[in-house]
Amino acid sequence: MKKSVYKSAMSHLKTSEDFQDATYIKLMNHKERMHMELVKKRKVTGWTAGIAACAVLAVGILALNHNAPATTPSTQPADTAAAKPPSMGKVAVNIDGVISEVSADGKSFKVGSLWVTVTPETKMGIDGPTAATPSEELLQKEFKVGNIVSGFTTDDVGKGKVIATNIYNNMAPRQ
């Protein structure tokens, strides 16, 4: 019985307009405060995620480049600048350049600072199952100053004088 009396009393109770306005203002202030806190949390979360991503990228870059030497400008002596290291590919080439001097007998020539001697054992042209026959244009018989030559030697090119194992090209430059 008490419940029905309570319900009927509450249904007859009327609130004043001032009370309703004050309650509405309090609810709206609370809602606005909660919205502002949510915006702040989102902003902090976004900044935190951005900083974490930058840190991960920095660690990744450092981890991948830890063996890379620092690049410092340096000048090379003239001797080491002219000598080219051997290039690796289908055919090794460590004699490569323009002939600057030829000996009197025509069997030795100078490329950069390297003197190359051609012997009867020196193979001329490229050999192998898929190699094309050497043409006179790409493989001239005589070594002349200004010709472009490429070849290979098993000798140490650092000594300055080598015996050619193979001469791939000996061609005149295009005019």
pLDDT tens digits, residue range 146-163? Answer: 999 999 888 888 888 999
Q: Which residue has the higher pLDDT, 84 or 27?
A: 27
Q: Which helix (H) or strand (E) holds 149?
A: strand 148-152
Between 104 and 76, residue with greater pLDDT: 104
Contact 153, 109 (CB under 8 A): no
Confidence of residue 88 (pLDDT cuts 50, 70, 90): very low
Kindly report the pTM of this predicted structure: 0.46
pLDDT value of position 84? 52
Q: Higher-confidence residue: 2 or 125?
A: 125
| pLDDT tens-place string over residues 47-72 | 999 999 999 999 988 888 876 555 55
How many degrees, rounded to 5, is the angle at CA 66 between CA 60 and CA 69? Answer: 135
Q: How many CB atoms lie within 10 A of CB 151?
A: 24
